[in-house]
């Protein structure tokens, strides 16, 4: 029996009920109808429930998804998705500035940093926070200052908390042989192709067309998979982001933002606007803001003239100040400045968000990224270690944090060898002709796009 993840209507309904309660809709009556019919909650960590439902339950789920989408939101005015309204709500939106040109070495450090952080987080993705702590402490690697290993971990602990089954064979220290494929690296490659083909004036439709040409459907997840499905049924952007898509405020748009920042150094406004056109294929509101925040932060870091605190403050200027994401990031920054022990910061973030948000939602994950970078003062190892040690979407958080910290480091030689040597300057991917490409080559191609008028 094929149970395709992230698309079964009977699994989507639970996620959409939670999303509705977060974005200002009142879903209680619809939730009661779903429960009365025998519907279950969404799977907590898997993308699909194990059993096929009755035909009646599936049809009911589809109808309820549409009813939920029609509910009015009390947050609609304070959390717009339209770029004009976003900019109008941001009193300190950055002025457009001529983009500088990052050095190729700085871009190589960013690509390497993204890969390192992703690889560190891969084997513990989907594991609860306590499991990550136990596994790392069992080998004396807490907080993690090198890749996770199974060597020395007690068997009973491995039985209780097995590594991410898809990643352990390529991402544990004893197994690493180059950078394995991951969506956190596939999307920067796609956006590099996007700029090569369409330049900075690309449209959201250009993004959609590129995906259909170059991105295997099986390499998409959550919001990206549903937007892909919506494209195949004839829907066009931006409706692809909202139609039966309960993941539209999750982390997927955020992990696509790096190239927009890398190629607009010193011009966070342009980076945020590019990220918006990319993100609205798949996301709305806070899912879009997360991408804009990261793109603007990276654009400031790519200039090479600012510290991490200035970069994050710049990122906050391009998102609505009354949004849930803005409040979460401000809260995370306060925690990071207050507590010397980062575990305390993480515990506070989990106490605030874990009960109400899925572990892939953009709000808590963006907050964790900001807290990790702030607490480590932008130091590379300290930043990626903190991002991954905080749990939730570990590989994505490690990747984005590593990209930003790599930019701040400024040169590949500054990144510790024990992180970069196992990568062997080789990236695996199913995107385009990039399989086996080196990070130095990717930096060269990115540098060329940064130079493009």
Q: Which residue is associated with the tokens 């748009």? A: 253
Q: Give pairs for 199-204: CB < 8 Å, separation 24+.
A: 199/452, 200/263, 200/270, 200/274, 200/452, 202/274, 202/277, 203/277, 204/237, 204/238, 204/277, 204/278, 204/280, 204/281
| Main-chain phi, psi angles of 300, to 5 degrees | -70, -40
Handedness of CA 324, 391, 349, 17 (dihedral sign): positive
- Whether 184 has a binding-site annotation, put simply, is no
Alpha helices for 52-103 (secondary structure H): 55-70, 83-89
Q: Which residue is associated with the tokens 């139609």? A: 243
Give strand pairing partners of 47: none
Separation between Cα atoms, residue 122 and residue 370, nearest integer Å: 20
Contact 148, 120 (CB under 8 A): yes
Query: Cα 413 to the chain's mean position, in Å?
Result: 26
CA distances from 239 to 125, 225, 282, 299, 413 (A): 30, 14, 9, 28, 45
Q: Which two tokens stand for residue 223?
A: 């919001």
Strand ranges in 251-347 using DSSP code E only, listed in sequence order: none
| Main-chain phi, psi angles of 236, to 5 degrees | -120, 155
Contact 416, 384 (CB under 8 A): no
Bond preceding residue 444 cis, omega within 30 of 0: no
Handedness of CA 6, 289, 117, 213 (dihedral sign): positive
Separation between Cα atoms, residue 61 and residue 26, nearest integer Å: 17
Longest distance between any two alpha carbons in the chain, whole Å:
60
Which three-class secondary structure state does DSSP give residue 452? coil
- Whether 396 has a binding-site annotation, put simply, is yes
User: What residues form the annotated binding site?
Assistant: 393, 395-396
User: What residues form the annotated binding site for Mg(2+)?
Assistant: 393, 395-396
């Amino acid at each position: 029996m094929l149970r395709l993840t992230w698309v079964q209507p009977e699994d989507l309904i639970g996620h959409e009920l939670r999303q509705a309660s977060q974005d200002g809709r009142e879903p209680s009556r619809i939730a009661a109808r779903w429960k009365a019919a025998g519907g279950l909650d969404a799977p907590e960590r898997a993308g699909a429930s194990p059993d096929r439902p009755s035909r009646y339950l599936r049809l009911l789920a589809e109808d309820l998804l549409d009813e939920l989408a029609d509910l009015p939101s009390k947050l609609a005015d304070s959390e717009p998705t339209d770029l004009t309204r976003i900019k109008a709500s941001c009193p300190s939106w950055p002025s457009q500035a001529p983009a500088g040109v990052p050095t190729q070495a700085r871009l190589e450090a960013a690509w390497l940093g993204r890969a390192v952080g992703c690889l560190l987080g891969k084997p513990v993705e989907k594991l609860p926070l306590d499991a990550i702590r136990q596994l790392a402490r069992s080998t004396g690697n807490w907080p993690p200052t090198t890749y996770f290993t199974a060597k020395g971990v007690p068997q009973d602990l491995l039985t209780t908390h097995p590594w991410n089954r898809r990643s352990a064979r390529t991402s544990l220290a004893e197994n690493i042989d180059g950078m394995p494929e991951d969506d956190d690296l596939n999307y920067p490659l796609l956006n590099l192709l996007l700029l090569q083909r369409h330049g900075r004036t690309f449209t959201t439709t250009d993004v959609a067309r590129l995906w259909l040409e170059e991105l295997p459907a099986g390499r998409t997840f959550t919001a990206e998979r549903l937007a892909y499905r919506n494209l195949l049924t004839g829907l066009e952007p931006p409706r692809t982001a909202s139609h039966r898509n309960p993941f539209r405020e999750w982390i997927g748009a955020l992990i696509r933002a790096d190239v927009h920042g890398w190629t607009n150094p010193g011009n966070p406004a342009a980076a945020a606007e590019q990220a918006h056109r990319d993100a609205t294929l798949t996301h709305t509101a806070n899912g879009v803001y997360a991408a804009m925040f990261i793109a603007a932060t990276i654009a400031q870091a790519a200039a090479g003239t600012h510290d991490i605190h200035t970069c994050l403050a710049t990122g906050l200027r391009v998102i609505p100040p009354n949004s849930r994401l803005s409040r979460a990031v401000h809260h995370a920054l306060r925690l990071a400045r207050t507590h010397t022990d980062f575990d305390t910061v993480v515990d506070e973030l989990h106490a605030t968000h874990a009960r109400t948000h899925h572990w892939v939602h953009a709000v808590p994950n963006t907050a964790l990224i900001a807290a990790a970078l702030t607490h480590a003062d932008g130091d590379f190892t300290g930043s990626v270690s903190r991002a991954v040690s905080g749990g939730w979407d570990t590989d994505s958080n490690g990747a984005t944090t590593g990209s930003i910290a790599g930019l701040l480091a400024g040169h590949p030689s500054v990144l510790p060898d024990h992180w970069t040597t196992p990568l062997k300057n080789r990236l695996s991917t199913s995107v385009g002709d990039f399989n086996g490409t080196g990070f130095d080559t990717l930096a060269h191609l990115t540098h060329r796009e940064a130079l493009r008028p």
